[in-house]
Amino acid sequence: MIATCAIIDDEPLAADLLASYVTKMPELKLTGTFNSAIKAMALLREHPTDILFLDIQMPELSGLELASILPKETKVVFVTAFDSYAIDGYKVSAADYLLKPVSFEKFVTSVHKVLESLDSSRRLNIANNSEYIFLKSEYKLVKVNFNDIAYVEGLKDYIKVYFKDGRKPIVSLMNLKTMEEALPTSTFMRIHRSYIINTACVDMIDRGRVIISGIFIPVSETYKDKFNAFVDGHTLQ
């Protein structure tokens, strides 16, 4: 597959280096290189890109702020000189994280990781019109009905799917964002960087925690407003 990509970095030399890397990869098509997030926003609105290589510390609008308003289909790879930003990157569901100076070897590894995620997302989006998907687990393809899922837990590059009937959870090599994009938004909601719940399976809400089949699942600050709006819409006043 060929993926479109764009680069945003307020350091021209850093942006040019990444652009030179892109030209060496036939899997990528560069749609633009920018030294300002503000200037890039117009293009990204009109022509969404598959992958965005994004610096974090920039004037006017930071990479974290821009990433939070991008379409969920865009895979963001943060590129920065500050390792402490890695945690913040995952709060906006970054696809990957590269530390400057970026070597070509690390760039290639990151691109292949993101391309695999893109491919999975596209296949799952096709499946999203159905009532089930197939997940790879222990060298097998296991059919999973959406209606059978109680909640999903993210474990770095893996997910763990828990079921209403208490059967053994399924572990699959996939990130939580990819699974989130495959699940019907009418029923499933992300409430934490590590959890997606089936809202129909919620038994109780207790002091910022969701209880499903006796399991307490926290609602993080990032998703609290969205979750509270959902609860308000289903509460008798």
* Three-class DSSP category at 199: helix
Q: How far is Cα 120 from Cα 140, in angstroms, rounded to an integer?
A: 16
Q: What is the CATH number of the domain that holds 102?
A: 3.40.50.2300
Instruction: For residue range 77-122, list pLDDT tens digits in order.
Output: 999 887 655 555 556 678 888 999 999 999 999 999 898 888 776 6
* Shared domain check, 134 and 118: no
| Helix (H) / strand (E) containing 44 | helix 37-46
Among 126, 153, 178, where does a domain finish?
Answer: 126
Q: How far is Cα 177 from Cα 156, in angstroms, rounded to an integer?
A: 11
* Shared domain check, 157 and 216: yes
Q: How many residues does the chain have?
A: 237
- Quick one: tokens of 39? 């200037």
Instruction: For residue range 55-80, list pLDDT tens digits in order.
Output: 988 888 888 888 888 877 889 999 98
Q: How confident is the model at residue 178 (pLDDT cuts 50, 70, 90)?
A: confident
Lowest mean pLDDT among 118-122, 181-185, 213-217: 118-122
Give residues with Cβ within 8 angstroms of 12, minimum separation 6. Answer: 35
* Shared domain check, 121 and 28: yes
* Shared domain check, 112 and 85: yes
Taking residue 39's Cβ as centre, other Cβ atoms within 10 Å add up to 13
* Shared domain check, 135 and 217: yes
Angle at which helices 104-127 and 12-23 pack, to 10 degrees? 70
* Shared domain check, 175 and 136: yes
* Shared domain check, 33 and 67: yes
Query: Any idea of the CA torsion for 48, 90, 112, 177, to the nearest 10 degrees?
Result: -70
Share the mean pLDDT of the chain. Answer: 87
Q: What is the CATH number of the domain that holds 209?
A: 2.40.50.1020
Q: In terms of residue numbers, what domain contains 146?
A: 130-233
* Shared domain check, 105 and 12: yes
Among 107, 126, 145, where does a domain finish?
Answer: 126
Counting the structural domains of the chain, the total is 2
Instruction: For residue range 110-153, list pLDDT tens digits in order.
Output: 999 898 888 776 666 655 557 888 899 988 899 999 999 999 99
Name the pTM for this structure. 0.55
